[in-house]
Amino acid sequence: MSNTPSPTRNSLEAYWMPFTANRNFKDSPRLIESAEGVFFKTTDGRQVLDSASGLWCCNAGHCHPKIVEAIQQAAAGLDYVPPFQMGHPKSFELASRIADMLPGDLNYVFFANSGSEAVDSALKIALGYHNKRGEGSRTRLIGRSRGYHGTGFGGTSVGGMVNNRKNWGSLLPGTDHLPHTHNLDENAFSRGQPAWGAHLADALEDLVALHDASTIAAVIVEPVAGSTGILVPPQNYLERLREICDRHGILLIFDEVVTAFGRLGGGSASEVLGVQPDMVCMAKGMTSGTVPMGGVGIRQHIYDTYMETTPVGVELFHGYTYSGHPLASAAGLAALDVYQGEGLYQRAAELASYFEDAMHSLKDAPHVIDVRNLGLMCGVEIAPRQGAPLTRAFDTFLAAYEGGVFFRINGEVFAIAPPLTSDKSHIDQIVDGLRAALEKVD
């Protein structure tokens, strides 16, 4: 049994929870007391399987002893060092290890504290890069419809989810969006990268024709869109985006906040899919979700531009009080030790085909209209209830949680991304849990 006293409605009131139906949650809270491996333990003493690695973060499983120990030791030894004009060894070591993990000449790492900050940092670095090269007219930032790049003003502006955009005024000026790649008529129940859709990248040529390349700084996309329900890039789509960017001197940024650190069976989507971006945004799996941290992997030519055009003094007027924080750096190093020492990227790659077959077995479950997957990411999309969108997915989420499996829902999509430490029995439990919950809801 749990030692945690049951909360009262009032004791929950003060916390304005993010991206949550606050009143509903506080009326019937779902509180977690502890976690271990692939399981949460609720405050009422139940074990709940985590099918989403928390929020795409806990790739090494929860409370991995080696990461826990590294954090405990770091907290006791060095609480804080200013990251401006000062440093501590672990942040430099972590940058080197991440740069080694990233493909090509992504040789530099800038540290932030979240995915949102990583994205805003990358967008600013892109604008500064062009400015310093004498191409200051390149200010336009291009995102994609149904993209999610966090909640900063930059990330919101290039993001493409209407509820995240519509309340905050005009956002950044001079952004535009590519069309998304989701098309159930063409691609329903695809396994891996769908065959249809590479031509959608050509919309970037249309934006170049409309705005002129001389006004465009960067394109940012998630290689596999996560928060809008796992949109797997069509074959050759990312390659085509890369070609068009190269043709027009536009930087290509991959937002790999979800896909880096093993999710697709390698260090990054860039590596697994073989497309080299100019910058990579990271967070989440960077510390296996244990301590907030984000970062940007940056190619040599961008770093060189800043250095060469700034002969003395500060080259980049941007940073955070907690960039490369000692605790986060220690957690990041320990997470990499675990990923590499336990071969977790390889393990994810090996589990991916079992995961794919298991997930696609849900094709005949009630309400399911699509299953799509890549690596250890899968979206199971269900039909909305007539006249009551999102309610069926939410009721299914509640039924599954009661049944012992936690799912992350994005709209009408169950976004499944288990810890890389999962085994086949956990995958089976996820499939059975979702099917049982879908059978319970109308």
With CB under 6 A as the rule, give the number of residues binding ligand PLP. Answer: 14
Interface with ligand PLP, residue 148, by CB under 6 A: yes
- Could you give phi then psi for residue 385, rounded to 5 degrees? -70, 140
Check: CB of residue 40 under 8 Å from CB of residue 54. no
Interface with ligand PLP, residue 149, by CB under 6 A: yes
Interface with ligand PLP, residue 258, by CB under 6 A: yes
Report the residue number whose CB is nearest to ligand PLP: 115
Q: Please name every residue paired with 148 in a beta bridge, in sequence order, or none if there are none.
A: none
CB of 2 to ligand PLP, least distance (A): 28
d(CA 438, CA 436) in angstroms, rounded, equals 6
Check: CB of residue 416 under 8 Å from CB of residue 51. yes
Q: Which residues ranging from 118 to 137 are in contact with ligand PLP (CB under 6 A)?
A: 119
CB of 258 to ligand PLP, least distance (A): 5
Tokens of 150: 């966090």
Check: CB of residue 198 under 8 Å from CB of residue 240. yes
> Which one, 208 or 415, has the nearer CB to ligand PLP?
415
> Which one, 275 or 368, has the nearer CB to ligand PLP?
275
Tell me the window of 93-101, 114-122, 245-253, 407-415 that interacts with ligand PLP (CB under 6 A).
114-122
**Cβ neighbours, 10 Å, residue 144:** 28
Check: CB of residue 295 under 8 Å from CB of residue 83. no
CB of 357 to ligand PLP, least distance (A): 26
CB of 294 to ligand PLP, least distance (A): 6
Judged by CB under 6 A, the residue of 116, 121, 287, 290 near ligand PLP is 116
**Cβ neighbours, 10 Å, residue 208:** 19
Interface with ligand PLP, residue 114, by CB under 6 A: yes
Interface with ligand PLP, residue 277, by CB under 6 A: no
Judged by CB under 6 A, the residue of 106, 201, 257, 331 near ligand PLP is 257
Site string for ligand PLP, 282-311 (x = CB under 6 A): -x----------------------------
Which residues, 6+ apart, have CB-to-CB distance to 383 below 8 Å? Answer: 367, 369, 392, 412
The answer for 156, left when phi > 0, alpha when psi is -120 to 50, beta otherwise, is alpha
The pairing of strands 108-112 and 377-382 is unpaired
List residues binding ligand PLP (CB under 6 A).
114-116, 119, 148-150, 222, 226-227, 255, 257-258, 283
